[in-house]
Structure 1
Amino acid sequence: MYSFVQERVKAPRFCSIDRTAPSRYGYIANVCVAKSARRQGIASNMLYYAVASAKTNGVEQVFVHVDRNNTTAQNLYQKIGFEEQLFLLRLQT
């Protein structure tokens, strides 16, 4: 359970690591910051921590999904060092 400024959010871990060789990778999901706390470096710090934790566990690549219209998040991830890769398949039912 995480709390900030009287806001409680129950969420799963935002970083997972696939420890099976040979493709050790990490995936960051559900990065969110309360509106009242945005633009203070909190998301950047969470991402730096997740990437550092992944490296410590021998991860060679870390992935994150972001909506193509979410330029704020895209800028954040690029600032951290993520590079754009276009390969996503979707089936709408």
Structure 2
Amino acid sequence: MYRGRLAYRPRSETANKIREVNKMKEGIHPNYYQAKVVCNCGNEFVTGSTKKDIHVEVCSKCHSFYTGQQKAAAARGRIDKFNRKYGIQ
């Protein structure tokens, strides 16, 4: 049965040593830069990276998922395929 007493245990030297060992090592991590990202469409923005300059083919300004242009083109393609299959003009 619990009687509300807690034993006080002072922190041992090994616990203090473990805490010191878990510190991040110096000199092994890459430098982190303010990176300028340039898209093929001309859009530019800044983000954090280990590289200073990043060149990408698509971004949120030109990717079809964000612009919604893919849905219309895909629907037209499916309609044309259906019309060709059943000879509808």
**TM-score band, normalised by the shorter chain?**
under 0.3
Higher RCO (Cα < 8 Å, 6 or more apart): 1
If the length of structure 1 is used for normalisation, what is the TM-score? 0.17
Structure index of larger Rg: 2
If the length of structure 2 is used for normalisation, what is the TM-score? 0.18
* Higher normalized helix content (fraction of residues): 2
